[in-house]
Chains A and B, each alone.
Chain A
């Protein structure tokens, strides 16, 4: 099975900071990667599919890149409403990464 390793598991940043999360696959998954946001007490929400495509209605401060085994998710300017846990997911076997909890410093 393909394993997804996400890092860091948590981070604390200031409003306006650039935030970067990485996700590494145990084998080549091309660009078969999604990113989700889960706010406390809520269901997850799709932000990015195909590694870099922004879902309709998602703010442009969110972006994704990468292919093969190494992927990056970026928030260009952290906003208070971005406090959440972020998950990558590869869609060969639907496995999720372990999640990254983003907090405001």
Chain B
């Protein structure tokens, strides 16, 4: 069974750093892209970026380029999303999801449970 399990909720202060994780199981972790999606309170879904754990090829949404860093450790089937200096506006639910690209089609088919990040002084 394919599963993506995310790390737990975080409460941080502005200016602090943070790294959240997404562990994949039940499939070949290095053969599928993993994406990160932000959902601010009461708002819609925003694609942040995707990474291919097989070779660490990473693509960012222009809206998030330079704001976050996406990485992966294929030895432990885990993808990461990190911030070097959090802002209150980073308060949101963050989802990881598997991005399938096959036969000309592409979609997020499995999703993690979400990690709630709260940034407040």
Contact = CB atoms under 8 A, between A and B. Distances in A.
Pair from one complex: yes
Interface of A: 1, 32, 34, 36, 38, 43-46, 49-50, 53, 55, 85, 87, 89, 91, 93-99
Main secondary structure of the interface of A (DSSP, over half): loop
Contact of A1 (B44, B62, B107, B112): B62
Contacts of A98: 44
15 contacts: A1-B62, A32-B106, A36-B108, A38-B45, A44-B37, A44-B45, A46-B107, A87-B44, A87-B45, A89-B45, A89-B107, A91-B106, A93-B61, A96-B47, A97-B44
5 smallest A-B Cβ distances: which pairs?
A43-B111, A91-B106, A94-B47, A99-B44, A96-B45
Q: Per DSSP, are chain B's interface residues mostly helix, strand or loop, or mixed?
A: strand
Contact of A43 (B44, B61, B113): B113
